[in-house]
Structure 1
Amino acid sequence: MSCYNQKDYIVECLDSILSQEVDFDYELIISDDCSTDGTREILQTYSCIADPRINLLLRDVNVGAAANYHGLHNMVKGDVVFHFDGDDVMLPGKLQAQYDVFVEYADVNIVMHKAIYFSDDDKYQSETQFPGASAKDLLFFSRSELARWGTIAVHGSYAYRRSSRKAKIDHEVMEWFFAMDSLMTGGRGVFLNKSYVKYRCNFESTSYLSSKKGKIKAYNLYLADLYGYFESNKDLQIDLYANFLVTALAMCKSVRMLPASAVHFLFSNIKCFRPSVFIETFKVRRMIGPKQSIR
C-alpha cells in the first residue's frame, strides 16, 4: 500500500485490509512518501498496536508517486502481489477471491475486478461495469485483448504474480503498462464480475485526476506507454492502434486538446485501423466505467 497525506482515510483503509478473512499468509508493506499531515504518525501508532504482518517504510524525503510505487513493489517477497492506495476501502472477500484464481489457474498472471466509486459523504456511489456477459462470474482475457481495451479497472483492483513482471522502470508509467507487462511472456488475465474495492472519488479533490493539468499528465503518460508497446510489438499494433484512437478521442472530450505527436501517430499509422476492432474497444471502454461519473 502506498500513501501520502491521507490522514482522514488511512485508518479505515488499514482496517479494511487487516479484517480480510484469508487462508494464506501475507505481509502488508506500507510506504509513506513523507506525509506532512499526520498520516505518518497514525501509521506509526497503528503498526505498533495492530498487526505484526505490517512492514512500515517511512520515507525521509518525498520521492513522488512513481518512485514510491516502484520502490514499494521492489520490496515484495510473496508470489502474489496486491496493490492498494491509502484512501480506498477494501471490501470483504477481495484478497481470497483473487488469490483463489491464481491457485486454480496456473497460467493466470493478473486478476482484476469491478469497483464502487464513492464520495466522502456517500452522496455519490456508482459501480463500474463488467466487460463480459453479465451472467458470468469471471472473464478470461489475453494479451491482445488487454492491448486493445486498455485500462479496464481501477488501480486498487490489480493483483499479479510477482514472477510475471519483467520490465525495469525508472520513470512514471500508468498501471496499464504493468498489466501488459504481466502478459508479455504468456499467460492470461482474469476480470471478476464483483466489486471488491470502494474507490474514493470526490468532485472537489486534491487528486491530480481532479484537475485539467492532472488529467493531461495522465493521458500523456498513457499515450507514452502506448507508443512504447506499439514500437516493440508488431503483432499487437492493430490492437494498440484501436486503444490509442479511443484514448485520443477521450482526451479530446475530457481536456479539449490532443498533442501534435498523437495526431501524427494516428495519421502515420492509419494502416492499422480496423473498424471492427475500434468498435469493440470503444464499447468495452464505455462499458467498464462507473454508471454515473462526477468528474
Structure 2
Amino acid sequence: MKSQDLDWKTETNKSPLVAIWMVTYNHEAYVVEAIDSVLMQQTHFDFKLYIGDDCSKDNTRKIIQEYKEKYPHKIELLLHEKNLGASPNGIFMYQHCIQTGAKYIALCEGDDYWTDPLKLQKQVDFLEVHKDCNVCFTRATMLKGSVLTLHEIPKPFSSVPFFYEELLRYYNFITTASVMFKNQKNLVIPEWITSLPFGDLGVYKVISQDKKIACIDEVMSVYRIHGEGIWSKVKPIEAEKKYLDFYKNMYVHLNKNEQSIVSQKIKKSLSNVSNYKYPSQKIARKLHLYFNLIKSFRYL
C-alpha cells in the first residue's frame, strides 16, 4: 500500500529501538487502558507508540490526541480522514512502523492491553539472544466481560520454539497483543493479506521469514473479547467456508510442508461443509463432497 494513496497526518522523530503498532477504531472505552499499558513499560532503550486511527466515530480520536499532547515524544498519531477498514489500516501501520527503522516491532490493538511493565524489555532480551527466532510472543489471558481466563496454546509450544507450519496445523494460537518481531531488511507486508479472512495468520507467515517463532511462558497481555463475539454469530457452515477461503488464498505463499498441512485442512473443511449442508442425505453429501474435491484439485 502506497502512502500517497492515503489521507493522513503525522509527525516524525528519530527511530526508537522498538516501534509499537496500535490500530484503533471506536475504542473509546478501551484505548486509555491500552495506551497506559504501553507507557508503563520500563526499558533500557527508547520505544515509541504509533497509533493509526481509522476515522473513529466516537471519542477515540480525541482521547489519543490528548495523549499525544501530553507525551509528544512517546506517541505519534496517524489520523485517517476516511475509514480504510481494519485490514488496510493494519497493513498501513505495519509498513509505517517498519519504515521507522526500529529494530523491533511490538503489537497492541487499541482494545487490548499489556499487564507486565517489563514486557518489552523481556522480549527484546529474548530476541537479542535467540538469533534463530524472528518472532516471539507471550502467554496471555482472555477478558470477556469481567472474567479472565488463560489463553491456552498447544503443548509443547509454550516452551519449545517452532516454525510457522504449527500455526497452520493447530490454527493460530498467538494473541496479537503478545507479539514482538524483528524488523528485517526489505520487509514488506503485502497487500494480499487483505484478501484473507484471518489477516494476522498471514502476517505471521511474512514476518517469521521461515525462521522460528517462540513463546515466553509468562502472562504479559490481555486479549479482549467483546460481547458475544463475531464468531459466536457465524453458522458452522459459514465458518468452514471462511477457513477454506483462507487456506486457498494462502496456499501459493506457503512452502511444501505448509502446503501439505493446508491440503489436509482443505479436505477436512470440504467434508465438514458437505456434512453441514446435507446432514441426513448420504448420497447428496457424497456427491457434494466429490464435486468440491474436483474443484479444489489444485490444492490437494
Report the TM-score range of the alignment, normalised by the length of the smaller protein: 0.7 to 0.9
What's 1:198 paired with?
Answer: 222
C-alpha separation in 1, matches of 2:135 and 2:206: 10
Instruction: Note if 1:176 corresponds to 2:201.
Output: yes
Indicate yes or no: 2:174 matched with 1:158: no
Q: Are 1:82 and 2:106 matched, yes or no?
A: yes
| 5+ long unaligned stretches in structure 1 | 273-295
- Percent identity of paired positions between Structure 1 and Structure 2: 23
1:279-290 equivalence runs, <5 A: none
Cα contact 1:30–1:55 (8 A) shared by 2: yes
Matched, 1:128 2:156: no
Q: Which amino acid aligns with 2:63?
A: I
SS in structure 2 at match of 1:193? strand
Alignment-derived partner of residue 189 in structure 1: 213
Q: 1:228 to 1:87 in 2, by over 3 A?
A: same
Q: Which residue of structure 2 aligns with residue 91 of structure 1?
A: 115
Give CA-to-partner distance per residue, 1:80-127, whole Å, 9 cap, x none: 11121111121113222222221111121111222211134x1x2211
- 1:31 counterpart letter in structure 2: G
TM-aligned CA deviation for residue 17 of structure 1:
0.9
Aligned residues: 261
1:43 to partner: Cα distance: 0.8
1:241 to 263, 280, 300: 263
Q: Is residue 6 from structure 1 mapped to residue 27 from structure 2 by the alignment?
A: yes
Query: SS of the residue aligned with 1:163?
Result: coil
Helix, strand or coil for the counterpart of 1:27? Answer: strand
Give the corresponding residue for 2:292: 264
Aligned to 2:204, the other structure's residue is in SS state helix
Match of 2:17 in 1: none
**Alpha carbons 2:270, 2:293 under 8 Å: kept:** no
Asked whether 1:141 is paired with 2:150, we answer: no
- What are the Cα deviations for residues 110-150 of structure 1, in whole angstroms up to 9, with x where unaligned? 11222211134x1x2211124224xx863200233334233
Give secondary structure in 1 for the equivalent of 2:202: helix
Q: What's 1:291 paired with?
A: none
Specify the SS of the correspondent of 2:120: helix
Q: Provide, for residues 157-196 of structure 1, a one-character-per-residue CA deviation record: whole Å limited to 9, x for no partner.
A: 2222221744521524321111112234x31111222222
SS of the aligned residue for 2:105 comes to: strand
CA deviation profile, 1:241-262 (whole Å, cap 9, x unmatched): 3444666789899xx679x899
Structure 2 residue runs without a partner (length 5+): 1-21, 279-287
Paired amino acid for 2:66: T
TM-score by length of 2: 0.74
Q: 1:128 and 1:271, CA in 2 relative to 1: closer, same or farther beyond 3 A?
A: same
**Conserved in 2, the CA contact under 8 Å of 1:245 and 1:266?**
no
* 1:20-99 matched pairs, under 5 angstroms: 20-50=41-71, 52-76=73-97, 77=100, 78-92=102-116, 93-99=118-124
Q: Which whole-Å CA distance do the structure 1 matches of 2:294 and 2:216 have between them?
A: 33
In structure 2, C-alpha distance between the alignment counterparts of 1:262 and 1:44, rounded to whole Å:
56
Q: CA deviation at 1:70?
A: 0.9
Amino acid aligned to 1:83: L
Structure 1 residues 154 and 216, CA, compared in 2 at 3 Å: closer, same or farther? farther
For 1:169, the aligned partner's letter is: E
Give, as a single letter, the amino acid of the residue that structure 1 aligns with 2:62. E
Letter of the 1:94 partner, please give it.
Answer: K
Secondary structure of 1:74's partner? helix
